[in-house]
Amino acid sequence: MLRSSLPFLVCFSLFVSARAAEPQVRDIGDRLELFVDRFLIEQLDGAQLRLHSPHEAEVVWKYQHPRESPKAAYFSVFQDGDAFRLFYRASPRDQPDVICTMNSPDGIHWTRPELGLFEFLGSKKNNIVWNDPRGRTVHMFAPFKDPQPDVPDDQRYKAVAGSPIHALASADGIHWRFLTEKPVLTGSNFDSLNVAFWDALRKHYVLYCRHRLEGGVRYIAMATSTDFINWSEPQPIDTGDGPVEHLYTNGTLPYFRAPHIYMSMAKRFIPNRSRGNQGVSDAVLMSSRDGLHFDRTFREAWIRPGQETDNWLARSNMPAWGILQTGPEEISVYYSQGYGTYTSQLRRGTLRLDGFVSVSGPYEGGELLTRPLKFKGSQLVLNYATSAAGSVQVEIQDMAGKPVPGWSLSDATELYGDSTAEPYAWKTGEDVSALEGKTVRLRFVLKDADLYSLRFGP
């Protein structure tokens, strides 16, 4: 019996090995793809992935005494129609914590509205939107706008808050109520900014919360829900091999231009260093395509403390939750500085669209070869930048790696300039519709150039 089964087992093993050796085809359709991970990358030759830190812009918030204090924190920002909204814990001195809001028409200029909802020091002329008398839900409060078309009007805005975690809802983002008196998640110390959002692709709510690993390491866990009340048991995220670090906050959300990719702007805490108080902090950038497994290609800091002494204190350099488009080709992120000092502030940082990471080729030249992929569309649209002497060239190959006639490197033009969305043209033109639905590879030849993202489109 064993002898007669051996040929079958050998053949089956060879079949499995052959299937396993087949390269996985990435069907990207017409969606935007970023190079924040190696999802599309088969090989880099002379080129490398390059992390881009936000460019420091203006200060958008400074604490105002007495309603706020230098320990104001846990900022959240999101777009609401044609305007933008910001929420934060105000932490007034010698008073219970309160949640405040600010408004902006452009994500750059922010004002504190006078809402008249809650009395503070004898006046209702303030921007307070939430003041839990029992103090359960004001220390950590993270709201968002629910984009589902059929969501009840009085639940258009939702928030997770407190430890244990409670669920709140609002019709306008100003008047808040508990969805249920009981907490929706218990059993852990959720003592950080826990954030939630609706994932339109996966059709469920996602929550990222504080988690503790063995030895008390601050970490991140993920839970899901279909109704915002009943949540799965939080599971610690997987960041792959490498040293385990304290991740104090997570700042995780779908990137609005490519919502199949989660971006996580996490505050990293180094507890065993001290420059004024115990611990120092910076921010790191991670990404995920399934919400649980996060790519940490970049261990280096995304946001450094810099030269300001107050930014070297324990809880500074904390990214706000949210990424806003603040210009035709600009996105903005926000991060706190000088926590606990009289320089406490929230600063805006800017990036080009999709500008988190690029495939960067040196002056001497470098190449990117993609994994096999299928696409939908008639043009290859690139987000790229070159020097005056630099260039981008593209070759389309078949599954076996042979140049496709008409789209070979000898047919490629030298693209140079700086654009967030420019169709690539070969000598025969831009049209690639003849290859739509077929399995191909893209070979990029980069000279003093950066490639940030690509997509196929009409």
Same domain, 249 and 340: yes
Same domain, 317 and 174: yes
pLDDT of residue 136: 80
pLDDT of residue 388: 99
Does some domain include residue 247? yes
Per 3-state DSSP, the chain is made up of helix, strand and coil in percentages (nearest 5) of 5, 50, 45
For the chain, give the percent of residues with pLDDT over 90: 88
Which of 5-9, 89-93, 161-165 comes out lowest in average pLDDT? Answer: 5-9
Does some domain include residue 5? no
Same domain, 328 and 378: no
pLDDT of residue 11: 43
Angstrom distance (rounded) from CA 59 to CA 345: 7
pLDDT average, residue stretch 344-361 = 99
pLDDT of residue 22: 54
User: Is residue 326 predicted with pLDDT exceeding 80?
Assistant: yes
pLDDT of residue 21: 47
Of 310, 332, 352, the residue at which a domain comes to its end is 352
Same domain, 274 and 375: no
User: Is residue 67 predicted with pLDDT exceeding 90?
Assistant: no
Q: Is the pTM of this model over 0.85?
A: yes
Does some domain include residue 3? no
In the structure, what pLDDT confidence band is assigned to residue 139 with cuts at 50, 70 and 90? confident
> Which residues lie across from 357 on neighbouring strands?
51
Of 352, 379, 408, the residue at which a domain comes to its end is 352
pLDDT average, residue stretch 316-331 = 98
Give the CATH number for residue 45.
2.60.120.260
Does some domain include residue 367? yes
Q: Which amino acid is at 158?
A: K
Angstrom distance (rounded) from CA 311 to CA 293: 30
Angstrom distance (rounded) from CA 137 to CA 97: 9
Same domain, 344 and 387: no
pLDDT of residue 278: 84
Query: Which helix (H) or strand (E) element contains residue 18?
Result: helix 2-21
Same domain, 367 and 342: no
Same domain, 449 and 336: no
Same domain, 418 and 292: no
Does some domain include residue 94? yes
Of 352, 382, 401, the residue at which a domain comes to its end is 352
Same domain, 325 and 348: yes
Q: What is the count of structural domains for the chain?
A: 2
Same domain, 334 and 237: yes
Provide the domain limits for residue 405: 25-52+357-457
Does some domain include residue 208? yes
pLDDT average, residue stretch 133-139 = 84
Does some domain include residue 364? yes
Does some domain include residue 11? no
Residues 6+ apart with CB under 8 A from 133: none
User: Is residue 449 predicted with pLDDT exceeding 60?
Assistant: yes
pLDDT average, residue stretch 240-251 = 95
Each residue's pLDDT tens digit, 386-428: 999 999 999 999 999 999 999 999 999 999 999 999 999 999 9
Same domain, 158 and 217: yes
Reduced to 3 states, what is the DSSP secondary structure of residue 2?
Answer: helix
Please provide the DSSP assignment of 231-294 as one string. Answer: -PPPEE-B--SS---EEEE--EEEETTEEEEEEEEEEEEEEEEESSSEEEEEEEEEEESSSSBE
Please provide the average confidence, as pLDDT, over all residues in the chain.
Answer: 94
User: Is residue 248 predicted with pLDDT exceeding 50?
Assistant: yes
Give the CATH number for residue 159.
2.115.10.20
Same domain, 150 and 33: no
Each residue's pLDDT tens digit, 17-47: 434 445 799 999 999 999 999 999 999 999 9
Cis peptide before 70 (omega within 30 of 0): no
